[in-house]
Amino acid sequence: MPEATHGMTYESLDGAVRTRSNGRLTMADTVHGYLEDVRHAAGIMQVEFDSADVDQQRVVVELALTGVPDVRVNWSPDLGWCFAGGDGVWLYRVGIESDAASLVPDPDEVAGWLRVLATGERTGHQDPPAPPDPDDEALVDRLLTFGTGTDPYGP
């Protein structure tokens, strides 16, 4: 997974999540919740994983798609979703913007993207998103929304 090259740290984002949730959630909680939301959406689209885990040290989601052993898929809150093929080059399928919707897209959008990857479409760009602002409340909002199973479109 490519390394983030900016000032946003896990600690600052974890602190923001803890503050906004009144101490009920940590960054690790929201990342696990986001992964579960993505798994659920992927299941509906019949996208299966050989593995789907969170690397607790780096706060990175790591996926292996069933039947696609040559593609590694990762997500982190500072780089968004990316994948590497057999050549090891990381490619991004999100905009290069640093907006929260690019970094933490809706789980059904991620599932659709994973389905496209699984069917063989693997074009992308090598430029990671621009560094997000560590004080971006929208990023924390999206993590809390999707990381706790809250449907932003429901009642």
The vertex-140 CA angle with 64 and 27, nearest 5°, equals 55
Is 153 part of a structural domain of the chain?
no
Is 155 part of a structural domain of the chain?
no
- Going by C-alpha positions, the residue among 154, 151, 150, 145 that lies closest to residue 20 is 145
Domain count, the chain: 1
Statement: residue 155 has pLDDT above 70: no
Can you give the residue range of the structural domain that contains 100?
5-147
Mean pLDDT of the chain: 85
Q: What is the pLDDT of residue 153?
A: 46
Is 25 part of a structural domain of the chain?
yes
Statement: residue 5 has pLDDT above 60: no
Is 154 part of a structural domain of the chain?
no
Is 142 part of a structural domain of the chain?
yes
